[in-house]
Amino acid sequence: MDFDLKNLLVPLTSSSWWEKAYGAYARGLNLNNNESVMVLYNADVDGFAASFFVYRYLLASNKIQTNQFQSRPVWNYEYDFQWIPQFVEQTKPDLVVCVDIPIIQEPNVLNAVQKKCRIVIYDHHVVPPNAEIPPDKTLFLNSRTLSGSNEDHPASAFSAAAANQIGSLSIRDLPILATGLRGDWALKKYPEFAEQLEKLLPGFITACNQYLYFWNEANFINLDEGTDIPGLVGLRGKNLDYGLVASEQNHVQGFT
């Protein structure tokens, strides 16, 4: 079967700002010998997929060893980001890469972190009008501001396109990218990619969604009626959230 990995994410890579943004990203992710990286990613599928493609990029560009790479999800309830300076103090990376997290809204955090290490951010959340872009050791990339017209490209799309640019993407990565994009409802934005995916896994996305829909609907009905979800009895709030993530993961693994 003929796959075209070259032109996967055309609406992104043909945009007027892509070359410049990719160049800045590539320089930002350039490591000196033995430097280490910490990737902080939004704890959703777009963020997770993005962190995977950052790793792929670093492997291909810097030939890093696994002990030079660490990553950590950032959960919704951690979105004040005030814990990050101390976390960086403890883990001592030379470079922090933030994908899919709106950390730009906390200039005090960025200022504290960039005193300790370099920062590269790719995000596509709306940037607050009064956000301060920190100079010096922080690189801030956001498709909405780069395009000047609020263009929205998920973090998994951007980081996969960058990994693809240096040839470190393979056909096996397509389902990961599909999941990331699907999580942000953005699969339809990239018709060339959707076409390659359909060649690889005909009907995969539709079938997987139909399967999950059944569970999600059942969960919704249970909660709406004030009953517990089987297997997650007595859980509410954050604990229920954790439980649901784990059970959805099980369902997806069962499905694939």
- Closer residue to Mn ion in complex, CB, 56/182: 182
Supply the minimum distance, in Å, between the C-beta of residue 219 and Mn ion.
23
* CA quadruple 110, 164, 12, 200: dihedral sign: negative
- Closer residue to Mn ion in complex, CB, 100/106: 100
Q: Indicate the Cα dihedral angle 48, 49, 55, 57, nearest 10°.
A: -150
- Exposed e or buried b per residue across 60-72, where buried means at least 16 C-beta atoms within 10 angstroms of its C-beta: bbbebeeebbebe
Distance, in Å, from the CA atom of 50 to the CA atom of 123, rounded to the nearest integer, reads 10
- Closer residue to Mn ion in complex, CB, 46/173: 46
The CB-nearest residue to Mn ion is: 46
- Closer residue to Mn ion in complex, CB, 134/154: 154
Distance, in Å, from the CA atom of 184 to the CA atom of 45, rounded to the nearest integer, reads 8
Q: What does the binding site for Mn ion look like in residue numbers (CB under 5 A)?
A: 46, 100, 154, 184
3-state SS assignment for residue 142: strand
Supply the minimum distance, in Å, between the C-beta of residue 229 and Mn ion.
26
Supply the minimum distance, in Å, between the C-beta of residue 206 and Mn ion.
22
Supply the minimum distance, in Å, between the C-beta of residue 156 and Mn ion.
7
At residue 166, what is the residue type?
Answer: I
Phi, psi angle pair for 79, to nearest 5°: -75, 10
Supply the minimum distance, in Å, between the C-beta of residue 222 and Mn ion.
28
- Closer residue to Mn ion in complex, CB, 116/125: 125
**Token digits for 28?**
């930002």
**Token digits for 171?**
């056909």
- Closer residue to Mn ion in complex, CB, 173/184: 184
Supply the minimum distance, in Å, between the C-beta of residue 66 and Mn ion.
26
**Token digits for 44?**
């959703």
